[in-house]
């Protein structure tokens, strides 16, 4: 991947994950009126918390790869 593309994708994923986490906490997100989608409180719910942490770590990985490519 291009170093600038890695940085851009990483920033989009990281900011997107933070915005989704905030929006799910600030507003009531439900599926069929029964299942709450509060991603900030999802640490104890493995599936939702795992998806959120995967996207955040993937964003950080792309940022670190882009920074290391900038040195070259």
Q: Domain coordinates of the chain in residue numbers? A: 3-70
Give, for all 72 residues of the chain, the pLDDT tens digit: 788 899 999 999 989 988 887 877 777 766 666 666 666 665 456 676 788 889 999 999 999 999 888 877
Contact indicator for 26, 18 with CB cutoff of 8 Å: no
| pLDDT at residue 58, rounded to an integer | 93
Return phi, psi of residue 30, to 5°.
Answer: -135, 155
Contacts of 45 (CB under 8 A, 6+ apart): none
Give DSSP secondary structure letters for 8-72: HHHHHHHHHHHHHHHHHHHS--EETTTEE--GGGGGGSHHHHHHHHHHHHHHHHHHHHHHHHHT-
| pLDDT at residue 43, rounded to an integer | 43
């Amino acid at each position: 991947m291009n170093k600038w593309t890695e940085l851009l994708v990483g920033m989009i994923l990281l900011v997107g994950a933070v915005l989704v986490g905030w929006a799910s906490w600030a507003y009531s997100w439900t599926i069929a009126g029964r299942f709450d989608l509060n991603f900030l409180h999802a640490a104890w719910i493995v599936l939702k918390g795992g998806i959120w942490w995967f996207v955040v770590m993937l964003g950080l990985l792309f940022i670190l790869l882009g920074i290391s490519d900038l040195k070259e």
